[in-house]
């Protein structure tokens, strides 16, 4: 057995036993291999000291609740996310946790997805950049990450059986791209395979994904861990590339592994590989533990959580410069969420926060001497509440104040891990309240809290100012106050399009599927790729977010090299307040030979905080790998040559400067076979030369093409070579052609 020192002394039973957990959160200590403790993740440490579960039910020890991924992604800031990862690592270490189960990097395919709050974006590049930063930060503290849920786990409906039926191009270009980037650049210690099936094959038994792609192509050198309860057939899973089944404790699947080896249906080498990978994980953990430094981080991390949360707030709209709030103006704060904030999602990621900022208190703390009244306005989970009376009280308060600040959103009961939403609507009583408040107090600011996208048309139609926090974690209350009063100038950007209506969304007709199959019929056209390619109206586009200042883009230069395209662009603060700008770079290849979205995000940079009038030159590399598409005819990535259009701007619909740059393409030679068409053969120089002979016979049987008055070549280009014999071509000449041009 080729194993780590010490592992060779283990019996086959012991090696098999290493491949399943000891209990809910830990692995077994066997021989030289120490036990590893894991826990959720990702936006806080859910360390359970008593009862254990994976649904967020039993208590956990207090830990800082940072903004969940839905909020964090709105920062678009890798450095900020790296700092969050490092802070999580310090807390995990202090709580005795070796592997934190995150980040969740599945693509938000449909806004109804129940776990969208745990995922970053509808875009794979942004997801990959942020996920890699999180893993790098976490692992810098000696705590391992678990990149999840691998793969194509984009809905909660029937989540333990459903097959995500997805074509190769979207699988590679949309659903795996972020995972690939994170594995390659941040090297997570573990990857967690998902519950679902992919094109019919359970993730845990998917050799193509767990072995060929993850290890073979991406060079993953860690342990593949199952999602909790994802393994139905452990011997098949071990063969496919699974190393560790979680949770564990029963010993049932260890016995199955032994039986399968005895029966000759499971190769002992695969069991050894799994044992080795678990041993490697334990060795990494041991080195990480040696770096433990237990200091009380509660205050520091709460401060960090506030700083981060403020950077995640998106200013969707700000008519008449209503925000930031002018000192001295009286405020009517309205809405249950102002006193009982909605700040994280439900399920396995649910954290017990060390403290919790109450937005109303934080607003009062910054309002100085201005009067701040409060009304509940509506009730979320109280069926006995009289919403009419609550509304009337709130309207009266708004009428008596200079500005109304209205907290709206989704209650915890309306969205969670474990189920998908059926619609995107805010509760009707909240929208009624908004209408009534704006009628008496036009200066109304809406503050939104929600894990999944909500339909904002009704809000945008009446509220002159809208702040969208998504979910902001335990310090969201303070962060929102900072943004409302201009202590922080908002720089958050939407990581997900807000559509006009559910019926416009790309997967509308293919979600959540039926009979345990969901067809990814929209293909590559996920999120803004769909809306922008179809030139559809959206409520707020991908990447949108305003600032209290303004920015100008100038002097775009594009330089192609072997590494990709270097983009340089000047960004100037043209307004009157300090602020930072998130610069987004999109590309397209006009006239591409393959189907492509109208534009795709290929680069992101955040400026420093710029003083009014200050300019920063941003320089970023659009990596050549990121320009590639997945060529299904040769099963590999190809950069198509040509003049790429490159835009820099402030959203996918707010493109400020653009240019063209020539990029040299990869060589792509499609093998010429009997099934190749005449057109394909003519496009291949070697085959085209050999075709001259073949054409002689064919033109006789086809008669005079010009007499048809059409481009004869276009008509016949689609004829496969092996059908040409029916048109008088000599089969022997055809065979000769194939022999001469085949690979």
Do 265 and 288 touch, CB atoms closer than 8 A? no
| Residue 179 makes contact with ligand BGC by CB under 6 A | no
Element of type H or E holding 687 = helix 685-702
Q: How far is the CB of 160 from ligand BGC (least distance, A)?
A: 9
Q: Return d(Cα 258, Cα 303) in angstroms, integer.
A: 52
Structure tokens at 7: 């592992």
Q: Which of 20, 28, 40, 374 binds ligand BGC (CB under 6 A)?
A: 40
CA 182 and chain centroid, separation: 12
- Residues 323-362: x/- map of binding to ligand BGC (CB under 6 A)? -------------------------x--------------
Pick the closer one to ligand BGC by CB: 21 or 341: 21
User: Which one of 123, 158, 173, 227 is in contact with ligand BGC (CB under 6 A)?
Assistant: 227
Distance, CA of 196 to CA of 160 (rounded, Å)? 5
Compare residues 150 and 528 and give the one whose CB is closer to ligand BGC. 150
Q: Which is nearer to ligand BGC, 163 or 348 (CB)?
A: 348
Beta bridge partners of 104: 148
Which residue is listed with tokens 């009707």? 428
- The first and second tokens of residue 117, run together, are 């709050």
Q: How far apart are CA 121 and CA 113, in angstroms?
A: 12
d(CA 19, CA 236): 13
Give CA–CA dist 528/543, Å, rounded: 9
* Closer residue to ligand BGC, CB minimum distance, 40 or 522: 40
Q: How far apart are CA 14 and CA 214, in angstroms?
A: 26
Residues, the chain, total? 743
Q: Is 106 in the site for ligand BGC (CB under 6 A)?
A: no
Q: Does 43 bind ligand BGC (CB under 6 A)?
A: no
Annotated active-site residue in 227, 272, 420, 626 = 227
- DSSP label of 59: -
Q: For residue 54, state whether it binds ligand BGC (rule: CB under 6 A).
A: yes
What per-residue string of b and e applies to 483-492 under the rule 16 or more CB within 10 Å gives b?
Answer: bbbbebbbbb
- What is the Cα–Cα distance from 391 to 332, expressed in whole angstroms? 13
Conformational region of residue 568, where left means phi above 0, alpha means psi within -120 to 50, and beta covers everything else:
beta
Which residue number, 228 or 530, has a Cβ lying nearer to ligand BGC?
A: 228
Helices first, then strands: H and E counts in the chain: 22, 26
N- to C-terminal Cα distance for the chain?
39
Query: What is the chain's alpha carbon radius of gyration, rounded to the nearest angstrom?
Result: 29
The least CB distance from residue 516 to ligand BGC, in Å, is 18
State the alpha helices, DSSP H only, in 195-326.
207, 234-240, 252-263, 268-289, 298-312
Exactly one of 228, 511, 548, 551 binds ligand BGC (CB under 6 A); that residue is 228
Tell me whether residue 9 is one of the annotated catalytic residues: no
The residue among 24 and 695 lying less far from ligand BGC, judged by its C-beta, is 24
Backbone dihedral angles phi then psi of residue 331, each to the nearest 5 degrees: -125, 140
Mark 133-162 with x for binding to ligand BGC (rule: CB under 6 A) and - for no binding. ---------------x--------------
Residue facing ligand BGC at closest CB distance: 54
Which residues sit opposite 540 in a β-bridge? Answer: 498
Record the tokens describing residue 392, joined without a space: 């009337």
> Residue with structure tokens 């979320």?
380
Count of other CB atoms within 10 angstroms of residue 406: 29
In the complex with ligand BGC, which residue's Cβ is closer, 145 or 687? 145
CB of 42 to ligand BGC, least distance (A): 8
By DSSP bridging, strand 144-150 and strand 99-100 are: parallel
Q: How many residues in the shown chain lie near ligand BGC by CB under 6 A?
A: 8
Token look-up 């000449």 returns: 733
Shortest reach from residue 117's CB to ligand BGC, in Å:
12
List strands edge to edge, sheet with 654-663. 600-606, 582-588, 642-651, 654-663
Q: How far is the CB of 232 from ligand BGC (least distance, A)?
A: 15
Q: What sign results for the dihedral spanned by CA atoms 420, 653, 180, 24?
A: negative
- For the bound state, the minimum distance from the C-beta of residue 391 to ligand BGC, rounded and expressed in Å, comes to 39
* All residues at 6 or more sequence positions from 20 whose CB lies less than 8 Å from its CB, including other chains: 28, 234, 244, 245, 246, 248, 251, 253, 254
Q: Is 101 one of the binding residues for ligand BGC (CB under 6 A)?
A: yes
What CA–CA distance (Å, rounded) separates 427 from 309?
A: 25
Q: Which residues pair with 26 in a beta bridge?
A: 37
The pair phi, psi for residue 561, each rounded to 5°, is -145, -175
CB of 476 to ligand BGC, least distance (A): 22
Instruction: Give 13's contacts (C-beta < 8 A, 6+ positions apart).
Output: 254, 258
The binding site for ligand BGC (CB under 6 A) comprises 40-41, 54, 101, 148, 227-228, 348
Catalytic residues: 227
């Amino acid at each position: 057995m080729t194993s780590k020192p010490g592992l060779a002394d283990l019996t086959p039973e012991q090696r098999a036993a290493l491949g399943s957990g000891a209990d809910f959160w830990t692995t077994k200590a066997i021989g030289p291999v120490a036990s590893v403790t894991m826990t959720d993740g990702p936006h806080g440490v859910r360390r359970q000291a008593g009862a254990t579960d994976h649904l967020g039910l039993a208590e956990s020890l207090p830990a800082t609740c940072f903004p969940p991924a839905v909020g964090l992604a709105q920062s678009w800031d890798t450095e900020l996310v790296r700092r969050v990862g490092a802070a999580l690592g310090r807390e995990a270490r202090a709580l005795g946790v070796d592997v934190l189960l995150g980040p969740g990097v599945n693509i938000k395919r449909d806004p109804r997805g129940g776990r969208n709050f745990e995922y970053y974006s509808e875009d794979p590049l942004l997801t990959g950049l942020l996920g890699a930063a999180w893993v790098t930060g976490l692992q810098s503290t000696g705590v391992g990450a678990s990149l999840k849920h691998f793969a194509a786990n984009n809905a909660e409906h029937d989540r333990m059986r459903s097959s995500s039926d997805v074509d190769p191009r979207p699988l590679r270009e949309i659903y795996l791209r972020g995972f690939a980037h994170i594995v390659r650049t941040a090297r997570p210690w573990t990857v967690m395979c998902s519950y679902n099936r992919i094109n019919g094959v359970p993730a845990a038994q998917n050799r193509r994904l767990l072995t060929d792609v993850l290890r073979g192509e991406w060079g993953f050198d860690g342990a593949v861990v199952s999602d909790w309860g994802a393994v139905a057939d452990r011997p098949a899973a071990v063969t496919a590339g699974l190393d560790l089944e979680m949770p564990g404790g029963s010993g049932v699947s260890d016995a199955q592994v032994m039986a399968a080896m005895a029966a000759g249906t499971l190769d002992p080498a695969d069991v050894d590989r799994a044992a080795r990978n678990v041993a490697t994980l334990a060795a990494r953990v041991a080195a990480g533990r040696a770096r433990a430094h237990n200091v009380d981080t509660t205050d520091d991390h709460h401060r960090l959580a506030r700083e981060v949360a403020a950077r995640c707030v998106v200013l969707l709209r700000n008519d008449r410069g209503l925000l930031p709030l002018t000192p001295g103006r009286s405020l009517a704060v309205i809405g249950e969420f102002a006193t009982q904030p909605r700040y994280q999602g439900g399920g396995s990621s649910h954290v017990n926060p060390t403290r919790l900022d109450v937005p109303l208190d934080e607003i009062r703390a910054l309002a100085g001497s201005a009067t701040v009244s409060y009304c509940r306005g509506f009730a979320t989970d109280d069926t006995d509440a009289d919403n009419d009376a609550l509304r009337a009280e709130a309207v009266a308060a708004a009428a008596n104040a200079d500005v109304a600040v209205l907290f709206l959103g989704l209650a915890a009961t309306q969205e969670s891990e474990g189920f998908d939403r059926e619609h995107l609507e805010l509760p009707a009583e909240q929208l009624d309240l908004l209408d009534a408040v704006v009628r008496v107090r036009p200066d109304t600011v809406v503050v939104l809290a929600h894990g999944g996208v909500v339909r904002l048309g009704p809000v945008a139609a009446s509220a002159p100012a809208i702040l969208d926090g998504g979910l902001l974690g335990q310090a969201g209350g303070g962060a929102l106050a900072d943004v409302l009063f201009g202590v922080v100038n908002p720089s958050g950007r939407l990581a997900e399009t807000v559509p006009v209506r559910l019926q416009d969304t790309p997967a509308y007709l293919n979600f959540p599927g039926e009979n345990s199959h969901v067809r990814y019929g929209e293909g590559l056209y996920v999120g803004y790729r769909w809306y922008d390619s179809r030139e559809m109206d959206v409520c707020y586009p991908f990447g949108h977010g305003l600032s209290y200042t303004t920015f100008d883009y100038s002097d775009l230069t594009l330089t192609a090299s072997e590494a990709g395209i270097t983009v340089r662009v000047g960004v100037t603060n043209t307004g009157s307040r300090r602020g930072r700008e998130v610069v987004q770079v999109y590309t397209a290849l006009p006239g591409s030979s393959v189907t492509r979205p109208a534009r795709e995000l290929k680069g992101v940079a955040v400026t420093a905080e710029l003083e009014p009038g200050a300019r920063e030159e941003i320089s970023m590399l659009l990596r050549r790998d990121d320009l590639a598409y997945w060529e299904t005819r040769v099963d590999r990535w190809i950069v198509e040559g040509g003049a790429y259009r490159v835009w820099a701007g402030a959203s996918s619909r707010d493109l400020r400067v653009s240019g063209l740059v020539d990029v040299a393409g990869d060589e792509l030679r499609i093998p010429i076979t009997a099934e190749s068409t005449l057109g394909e053969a003519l496009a291949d120089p070697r085959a085209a030369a050999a075709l001259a002979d073949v054409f002689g016979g064919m033109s006789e049987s086809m008669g005079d093409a010009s007499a048809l008055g059409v481009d004869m070549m276009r008509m016949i280009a689609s004829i496969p070579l092996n059908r040409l014999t029916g048109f008088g071509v000599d089969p022997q000449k055809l065979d000769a052609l194939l022999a001469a041009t085949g690979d």
